[in-house]
Amino acid sequence: MSSNQNPIVPHFSIKVWAKISLGVITSFLFGPWWLVAFLHRLRGVKIHNIWRVFIAGQVLIDSRFPELVEIEEEVYITRGVIIHTHFAPPPFLEAKIGGVRTGRVIIKRGAYIGMNSIILPGVTVGEGAVIGTGSVVTKNVADYTMVAGNPARVIKSVYEIRPMNDAGMNP
Protein backbone atom coordinates (compact mmCIF):
# COMPACT_ATOMS: atom_id res chain seq x y z
CA MET A 1 0.00 0.00 0.00
CA SER A 2 1.55 3.31 -1.02
CA SER A 3 1.82 6.14 1.51
CA ASN A 4 0.55 8.88 -0.83
CA GLN A 5 -2.98 7.52 -1.25
CA ASN A 6 -5.93 9.90 -1.00
CA PRO A 7 -7.61 9.96 2.40
CA ILE A 8 -10.63 7.66 2.71
CA VAL A 9 -12.91 10.45 3.93
CA PRO A 10 -12.75 14.10 2.89
CA HIS A 11 -11.49 16.65 5.37
CA PHE A 12 -14.32 18.59 7.04
CA SER A 13 -13.90 21.87 8.89
CA ILE A 14 -15.20 22.13 12.48
CA LYS A 15 -18.10 24.18 11.12
CA VAL A 16 -19.13 21.37 8.78
CA TRP A 17 -18.79 18.76 11.56
CA ALA A 18 -20.96 20.93 13.82
CA LYS A 19 -23.57 21.20 11.07
CA ILE A 20 -23.58 17.45 10.51
CA SER A 21 -23.75 16.76 14.25
CA LEU A 22 -26.73 19.08 14.76
CA GLY A 23 -28.53 17.21 11.99
CA VAL A 24 -27.90 13.86 13.68
CA ILE A 25 -28.88 15.17 17.15
CA THR A 26 -32.08 16.67 15.73
CA SER A 27 -32.99 13.34 14.16
CA PHE A 28 -32.89 11.69 17.61
CA LEU A 29 -35.53 14.02 19.06
CA PHE A 30 -39.11 12.83 19.24
CA GLY A 31 -40.66 16.16 20.01
CA PRO A 32 -42.08 18.49 20.77
CA TRP A 33 -42.85 18.69 17.06
CA TRP A 34 -42.24 22.44 16.84
CA LEU A 35 -38.78 22.06 18.46
CA VAL A 36 -37.81 19.45 15.88
CA ALA A 37 -38.95 21.80 13.10
CA PHE A 38 -37.16 24.73 14.77
CA LEU A 39 -33.86 22.81 14.98
CA HIS A 40 -34.11 21.76 11.35
CA ARG A 41 -34.67 25.41 10.45
CA LEU A 42 -31.67 26.38 12.61
CA ARG A 43 -29.63 23.93 10.53
CA GLY A 44 -30.66 25.78 7.41
CA VAL A 45 -33.68 23.83 6.15
CA LYS A 46 -36.09 26.33 4.59
CA ILE A 47 -39.20 25.62 6.62
CA HIS A 48 -41.90 28.15 5.81
CA ASN A 49 -43.68 27.90 9.17
CA ILE A 50 -42.42 25.71 12.04
CA TRP A 51 -45.87 25.77 13.65
CA ARG A 52 -47.55 24.38 10.54
CA VAL A 53 -45.42 21.33 9.68
CA PHE A 54 -44.86 17.95 11.29
CA ILE A 55 -41.41 16.36 11.12
CA ALA A 56 -41.19 13.15 13.12
CA GLY A 57 -38.23 11.76 15.05
CA GLN A 58 -35.62 9.76 13.15
CA VAL A 59 -36.08 11.93 10.08
CA LEU A 60 -32.73 12.70 8.44
CA ILE A 61 -32.61 15.85 6.34
CA ASP A 62 -29.34 16.09 4.42
CA SER A 63 -26.44 16.63 6.82
CA ARG A 64 -24.19 18.55 4.41
CA PHE A 65 -26.64 20.75 2.50
CA PRO A 66 -29.83 21.11 4.57
CA GLU A 67 -30.30 24.60 3.08
CA LEU A 68 -31.21 22.95 -0.23
CA VAL A 69 -34.40 21.55 1.29
CA GLU A 70 -37.58 23.63 1.27
CA ILE A 71 -40.66 22.54 3.20
CA GLU A 72 -43.95 24.36 2.79
CA GLU A 73 -46.84 24.55 5.25
CA GLU A 74 -49.00 21.56 6.27
CA VAL A 75 -46.31 19.07 5.20
CA TYR A 76 -46.23 15.80 7.16
CA ILE A 77 -42.96 13.87 7.27
CA THR A 78 -43.27 10.59 9.16
CA ARG A 79 -40.66 8.59 11.04
CA GLY A 80 -37.55 7.29 9.35
CA VAL A 81 -37.78 9.45 6.22
CA ILE A 82 -34.47 10.42 4.64
CA ILE A 83 -34.10 13.45 2.39
CA HIS A 84 -30.89 13.75 0.38
CA THR A 85 -29.68 16.83 -1.47
CA HIS A 86 -26.22 15.67 -2.44
CA PHE A 87 -24.04 12.91 -3.73
CA ALA A 88 -20.43 13.17 -2.60
CA PRO A 89 -18.21 10.76 -4.49
CA PRO A 90 -15.51 9.43 -2.17
CA PRO A 91 -11.94 10.53 -2.98
CA PHE A 92 -11.24 7.43 -5.13
CA LEU A 93 -14.25 8.14 -7.37
CA GLU A 94 -13.92 11.91 -7.17
CA ALA A 95 -10.60 11.70 -9.00
CA LYS A 96 -12.44 10.00 -11.87
CA ILE A 97 -15.93 11.51 -11.99
CA GLY A 98 -15.57 14.85 -10.22
CA GLY A 99 -16.81 16.30 -6.95
CA VAL A 100 -20.03 16.83 -5.06
CA ARG A 101 -23.32 17.04 -6.98
CA THR A 102 -26.33 18.69 -5.39
CA GLY A 103 -30.00 19.15 -6.12
CA ARG A 104 -32.76 21.04 -4.36
CA VAL A 105 -35.64 19.15 -2.76
CA ILE A 106 -38.95 20.99 -2.48
CA ILE A 107 -41.85 19.54 -0.55
CA LYS A 108 -44.96 21.45 -1.39
CA ARG A 109 -47.92 22.34 0.74
CA GLY A 110 -49.77 19.50 2.41
CA ALA A 111 -47.62 16.68 1.05
CA TYR A 112 -47.42 13.47 3.12
CA ILE A 113 -44.30 11.30 3.18
CA GLY A 114 -44.80 7.75 4.47
CA MET A 115 -42.45 6.05 6.92
CA ASN A 116 -38.91 5.13 5.86
CA SER A 117 -39.21 6.71 2.43
CA ILE A 118 -36.15 8.18 0.77
CA ILE A 119 -36.25 11.36 -1.32
CA LEU A 120 -33.34 11.81 -3.72
CA PRO A 121 -31.68 15.11 -4.75
CA GLY A 122 -33.52 17.29 -7.25
CA VAL A 123 -37.02 16.01 -6.44
CA THR A 124 -40.08 18.20 -5.99
CA VAL A 125 -42.97 16.59 -4.14
CA GLY A 126 -46.15 18.26 -5.29
CA GLU A 127 -48.91 19.87 -3.27
CA GLY A 128 -51.03 17.32 -1.43
CA ALA A 129 -49.00 14.42 -2.84
CA VAL A 130 -48.73 11.14 -0.87
CA ILE A 131 -45.59 9.02 -0.81
CA GLY A 132 -46.36 5.42 0.20
CA THR A 133 -44.33 3.99 3.06
CA GLY A 134 -40.88 2.68 2.16
CA SER A 135 -40.68 4.40 -1.23
CA VAL A 136 -37.57 5.65 -2.99
CA VAL A 137 -38.55 8.83 -4.80
CA THR A 138 -36.29 9.53 -7.76
CA LYS A 139 -38.48 11.88 -9.83
CA ASN A 140 -40.85 14.79 -9.27
CA VAL A 141 -44.27 13.88 -7.90
CA ALA A 142 -47.27 15.72 -9.35
CA ASP A 143 -49.78 17.51 -7.12
CA TYR A 144 -52.38 15.29 -5.40
CA THR A 145 -50.77 12.12 -6.72
CA MET A 146 -49.91 9.01 -4.72
CA VAL A 147 -46.64 7.29 -5.61
CA ALA A 148 -45.05 4.21 -4.04
CA GLY A 149 -42.32 1.64 -4.47
CA ASN A 150 -38.65 1.60 -5.43
CA PRO A 151 -38.33 3.50 -7.65
CA ALA A 152 -41.58 5.24 -6.76
CA ARG A 153 -44.21 5.01 -9.49
CA VAL A 154 -47.55 6.71 -9.81
CA ILE A 155 -50.22 4.54 -8.17
CA LYS A 156 -53.28 6.76 -8.26
CA SER A 157 -54.78 10.12 -7.41
CA VAL A 158 -54.85 10.86 -3.66
CA TYR A 159 -58.63 11.11 -3.99
CA GLU A 160 -58.66 7.37 -4.71
CA ILE A 161 -56.81 6.34 -1.52
CA ARG A 162 -58.87 3.66 0.20
CA PRO A 163 -60.73 4.62 3.36
CA MET A 164 -59.58 2.49 6.32
CA ASN A 165 -62.21 2.37 8.98
CA ASP A 166 -60.80 -0.02 11.61
CA ALA A 167 -59.85 2.72 14.08
CA GLY A 168 -63.06 4.57 13.48
CA MET A 169 -61.18 7.43 11.85
CA ASN A 170 -63.51 7.60 8.89
CA PRO A 171 -67.24 7.96 9.31
Ligand X SMILES: CC(C)(COP(=O)(O)OP(=O)(O)OC[C@H]1O[C@@H](n2cnc3c(N)ncnc32)[C@H](O)[C@@H]1OP(=O)(O)O)[C@@H](O)C(=O)NCCC(=O)NCCS
Q: How far is the CB of 162 from ligand X (least distance, A)?
A: 4
Task: Please name every residue paired with 125 in a beta bridge, in sequence order, or none if there are none.
Answer: 107, 141
Contact 143, 129 (CB under 8 A): yes
How far apart (Å, rounded) are the C-alpha atoms in residues 28 and 12?
22
Site stretch for ligand X (CB under 6 A), options 6-14, 30-38, 44-52, 146-154: 146-154
Contacts (CB under 6 A) with ligand X, residues 95-114:
114
Secondary structure (DSSP) of 35-89: HHHHHHHHHT-EES-GGG-EE-TT-EE-SS-GGGEEE-TT-EE-TT-EE--EE--
Work out which of 40, 132, 137, 145 binds ligand X, going by CB under 6 A.
132
Closer residue to ligand X, CB minimum distance, 68 or 117: 117
Closer residue to ligand X, CB minimum distance, 78 or 124: 78
Interface size with ligand X, residues (CB under 6 A): 14
Binding residues (CB under 6 A) for ligand X: these are: 78, 114-115, 130, 132-135, 146, 148-149, 155, 161-162
